[in-house]
Chain A
Amino acid sequence: MFNKDTAPVVRAENVHKVFQGKLHVLKGIDFSAMSGTVTTILGPSGSGKSTFLRCLNQLETIDAGRIYIDGCLTGYEERETASGTKLYCLTEKQVAEQRKRLGMVFQRFNLFPHKTALENVMEALLVVEKMHKDDAKDTAWAFLEQVGMGDRHNYYPAQLSGGQQQRVAIARALAMRPDIMLFDEPTSALDPELVGEVLSVMTELASSGTTMIVVTHEIGFARELSDQVVFMDDGIVIEQGSAEVLSNPENERTVRFLERVL
């Protein structure tokens, strides 16, 4: 039924999010991303980029619309009843199972401060994947090597620079072998000289064919690597297309936004 080559791996239909019953943050997002592609989401502060990303992996529940990962509805199960189609909430376990397919990298890293770099990467392998300790260690080590952090495996997060912490965080997400990687402004909390090391890890990931959805203000990264660029403003997608859009934006708000950040 679901064909990876023709159907998008992430599909959002008319997604709405309302905070505290009145703050309408997402006002009907339609979005899709094909497997193996890089999508960058751009837009002014407060436009709902982070919120949308958090909805994709169910850190926020949506108030209307549907989100499909690999053609599978997330968060709910649709059942036919006598009175029509009804949505049933998934159990916590089912939600966790769905979340595992999406890795997430946060702006503020969110590494576990009481665990070393290696233990951070091992944690979910041990308790979620129920891997044997030695296997988890080997796997974690390999992923730390991949992001160039093998030599710092025994360091606690507080002993690492921001760029190094973010690389460990990327390794931690990758170790769960997600189908899709979500990045929420992964370089915004970094000193300028540390941005490069994180972007180069991400560039490598992109070229290895990982499906990535990246919220970023790094226009250079967006221009070079995106298969798709999405502009958001005030809770809606105002423009989307190939990386070309960055050079020839049509929407007037996109033009103004690009003028400000470039």
Chain B
Amino acid sequence: MFRKKQEEIEIEGRINAVPVSHPGRIVGVLAVLLVVAVVISDLFANPNYRFDVVGEYLFNPRILSGVMWTFILTASSMVIGVVLSMVLAIMRQSDNYVLRGTSWFFIWFFRGTPVYMQLVFWGLVGVLYPKIALGIPFGPTFFEFSTAEIFTGGVAAVLGLSLNESAYMSEIVRAGFQAVDPGQAEAGKTLGMSRQQIMLRITLPQAMRIIVPPIGNETISMLKTTSLVLAVPFAADLMYVTDAIAGRTFLPIPLLIVGGIWYLSCTSVLMVIQARVERYFGKGHDSKVQVDKNANIEVTASV
């Protein structure tokens, strides 16, 4: 209904028939519009929303720093999570059963326990191991440092989130790799390409096409999971900050709205990025790519 009309060529006697009417649909649309109208009018009429407070805090420096931390936690956990998940997925397909088993165990463990519990654990590593030393077992020690120095709240939070994420994601990555026709790798082999070249240049880009949409999903999910880092404890993310301000000012509702607005904004940005990345890896699969600017031939072949 809202789609832009395509330019049409002129033909004689073009059919211009009266469409079938849908009375049920009209009733449905009216009902929806009614509900929307009620909600909107309430937003303006109900003083408890305190939009003045929302406006006051929306760009508050503490809130902005919370947004930044939420974004940093999300981005770094996802980057580490994705890389690790690929390693896990590749290990999972290895001929060596130690690698395969390790990957299986990792996934079993980190998928099988609540992320909240894992975050609490990473926060407690300093208690468990006050000092971390690097050296040869039963041999000399090269480094030694206090765990608390390295394992700050931020590091523990990112570690917890990314390990948990990689366990989920590795299954997604594995499914993506399995969806690539084995004939692709064989074609690479017959051309003399090495295993790494085939992986990086042939298999991975094709798997990405399948992996990217669920990665987008996972990223958006991660954005919201960062609100759990309080468990570490890591007290700087958006959820924590809005909660803290709400507790101090006794104005929970407007601060919920502030948090909601920022989470939605971040999600929207991520959705735009996802759409771009999907288009990049969809190369060759988009049915209506216009190619060949030099040879001025246009194709609209469908796959």
Contacts and interface: CB of A to CB of B under 8 A. Distances in A.
B285 A113 contact: yes
Contact of A108 (B183, B194, B284): B183
B42 interface: no
B189 interface: yes
A106 B193 contact: no
Given A156-B291, A158-B301, A113 B284 contact: yes
A111 B22 CA distance: 48
Contacts of A100: 191-192
Contacts of A173: 190-191
B85 to A, nearest CB: 21
Interface string A92-112: 110011011011101010111
Nearest to A108: B183
Contacts of A169: 187
A185 interface: no
A102 B190 contact: yes
B201 interface: yes
Interface in B184-218: 184, 186-195, 197, 201-202, 205-206, 209
A156 B187 contact: no
A123 B299 CA distance: 24
A99 B189 contact: yes
B284 A96 contact: no
Nearest to B198: A127
Nearest to A102: B190
A93 to B, nearest CB: 7
Interface in B248-303: 281, 283-285, 287, 289, 291-295, 297, 299, 301, 303
Contacts of B206: 112-114
A92 B190 contact: no
A96 B205 CA distance: 22
A144 to B, nearest CB: 12
Given A96-B192, A155-B292, A176-B192, A110 B186 contact: yes
A153 B287 CA distance: 17
Interface string A8-25: 000000000000000000
A92 B289 contact: no
A59 B190 contact: yes
A72 to B, nearest CB: 15
B194 A114 contact: no
Given A113-B284, A115-B284, A127-B193, A159 B186 contact: no
B291 A116 contact: yes
Interface string B166-191: 00000000000000010110111111
Contacts of B289: 156, 159
A172 interface: yes
A200 interface: no
Given A114-B283, A155-B292, A159-B289, A106 B299 contact: no
Nearest to B190: A104
A57 interface: yes
B190 A154 contact: no
Given A92-B194, A151-B297, A159 B189 contact: no
A96 B299 contact: no
Given A106-B183, A154-B291, 17 more contacts: A57-B190, A59-B186, A59-B189, A59-B190, A96-B194, A100-B191, A100-B192, A112-B184, A116-B284, A124-B191, A128-B192, A153-B292, A158-B303, A159-B291, A160-B301, A172-B191, A176-B192
Interface of B: 181, 183-184, 186-195, 197, 201-202, 205-206, 209, 281, 283-285, 287, 289, 291-295, 297, 299, 301, 303
18 contacts: A96-B193, A99-B192, A104-B187, A106-B187, A110-B181, A110-B187, A112-B202, A113-B206, A114-B206, A114-B281, A116-B291, A124-B191, A127-B201, A151-B295, A156-B289, A158-B284, A169-B187, A176-B191
Interface of A: 57, 59, 92-93, 96-97, 99-100, 102-104, 106, 108, 110-116, 123-124, 127-128, 151-160, 169, 172-173, 176
